[in-house]
């Protein structure tokens, strides 16, 4: 048979395609030959599993592996530098307990990305020889990590997240720590459905340049401050959180453009919601009742909008706009049955009120001075108490980096 020129070209092209496909298949097999699929690893301190310690399992795992820990008590400090899932086999924190073998180290120290830690009771991290606070779970430079379903108690910090982003912290119980959940220079994280009790300083603290975080459905009781955003923590959203029976309920200090929506800050010793030198925040449909000093307290804070909040039954003031707070807008707020005044402006200049309240009293010079002095005492005490802690945090960061 005579092969024409056109047919020869088609046969030659087909041969090239076949050669190309074979070559690509060879390279694919070569690349994947040394790559194992995600594995499941087991840990049992009593034997009978792959390993007897969590650290040993992490050391022998690769990213993507899942480590199941059988019930028991493990005394360990675990370093996690790869993207593994570590979970209790039972899913019950009460029967799978991780205690710090060395109280001067974190129980879990996480530097890997895409880590998951869930289902444990975690305790025993205290302070090291440098005075550095240690955590039940410490994330440093860790992204897309999940911390869920743990009972974390009796640590210096419960959960400490430093310079980390896009992490999720949910369904944890954190108690009896100096700070329950602490974010420092960490953005785009989600804190949801956590319960915090009996933490000495803050239940939840966002400190220095924590932006675009979401806090929702968290319940906090009996701390110094229930929820605090301090020093340049901007564009965060707080929705449906509860902060009760604290010194202060929710505190914003030098933090702007945040949204507080549907939160409850009741029965606190100071004020329910406090804005200190914070501007352009929105408070919508929050409840701040039965707080000893004020329901909502603005001090040196301007250009905020307070809309449809309820600040009633406070022995002091309902809504207290004080000390050089200007250009704030109050719309449709409810403030009834407060001990001194329902709504009060120490500096009425350029503040606007809209809604059912008929009169907005100006307290006069003497009362204004008294209120400012009381505010100075409240915040002075808190700042004095915190100054040593912030110094210690800065030392802590230095030693962590080392």
* Domain residue extents for the chain: 103-401
352 vs 307: CA distance, rounded Å? 12
244 vs 169: CA distance, rounded Å? 21
Q: What is the pLDDT of residue 386?
A: 46
Q: With respect to CATH, is domain 103-401 assigned 3.40.1550.10?
A: no
Q: Could you identify the residue written with the tokens 């205690």?
A: 99
**Which segments in the chain show pLDDT lower than 50?**
1-3, 7-9, 11, 21-23, 25-35, 358-391, 394, 398-402
Q: What is the pLDDT of residue 350?
A: 84
- 384 burial type by CB count under 10 A (0-12 exposed, 13-18 middle, 19+ buried): exposed
Q: For 178-209, give one letter per residue: b (16+ CB within 10 A) or e.
A: bbbbbbbbbbebebbebbbbebebbbbbbbee
- The alpha-helical segments, DSSP class H, found in 294-363 are none
Handedness of CA 226, 91, 160, 230 (dihedral sign): negative
């Amino acid at each position: 048979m005579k092969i024409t020129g056109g047919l020869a070209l088609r046969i030659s092209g087909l041969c090239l395609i076949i050669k190309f496909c074979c070559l690509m298949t060879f390279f694919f097999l070569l690349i994947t030959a040394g790559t194992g699929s995600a594995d499941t690893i087991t840990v049992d301190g009593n034997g009978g599993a792959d390993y007897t310690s969590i650290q040993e399992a992490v050391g022998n795992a690769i990213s993507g592996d899942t480590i199941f820990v059988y019930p028991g008590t493990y005394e360990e400090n675990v370093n996690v530098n790869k993207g593994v899932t570590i979970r209790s086999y039972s899913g019950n924190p009460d029967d799978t307990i991780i205690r710090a073998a060395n109280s001067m180290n974190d129980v879990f120290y996480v530097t890997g990305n895409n880590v998951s830690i869930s289902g444990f009771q975690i305790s025993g991290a205290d302070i090291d020889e440098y005075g550095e606070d240690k955590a039940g779970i410490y994330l440093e430079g860790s992204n897309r990590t999940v911390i869920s379903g743990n009972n974390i108690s009796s640590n210096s910090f419960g959960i400490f997240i430093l310079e980390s982003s896009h992490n999720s912290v949910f369904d944890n119980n954190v108690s009896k720590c100096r700070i329950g959940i602490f974010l420092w220079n960490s953005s785009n994280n989600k804190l949801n459905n956590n319960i915090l009790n009996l933490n000495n300083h803050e239940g939840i603290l966002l400190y220095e340049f924590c932006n675009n975080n979401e806090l929702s459905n968290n319940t906090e009781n009996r701390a110094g401050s229930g929820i605090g955003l301090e020093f340049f923590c901007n564009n965060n959203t707080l929705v449906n959180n509860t902060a009760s029976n604290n010194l202060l309920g929710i505190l914003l200090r030098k933090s702007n453009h945040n949204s507080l929506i549907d939160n409850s800050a009741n029965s606190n010793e100071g004020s329910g919601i406090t804005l200190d030198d914070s501007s352009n925040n929105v408070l919508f449909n929050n409840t701040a009742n039965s707080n000893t000093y004020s329901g909502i307290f603005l001090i040196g804070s301007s250009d905020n909008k307070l809309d449809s909040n309820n600040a009633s039954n406070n022995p002091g003031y309902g809504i207290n706009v004080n000390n050089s707070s200007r250009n704030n807008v109050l719309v449709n707020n409810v403030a009834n049955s407060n001990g001194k005044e329902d709504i009060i402006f120490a500096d009425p200049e350029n503040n606007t009120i809209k809604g059912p309240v008929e009169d907005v009293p100006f307290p006069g010079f003497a009362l204004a001075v008294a209120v400012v002095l009381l505010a100075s005492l409240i915040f002075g005490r808190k700042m004095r108490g915190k100054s040593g802690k912030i110094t210690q945090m800065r030392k802590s960061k230095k030693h962590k980096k080392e």
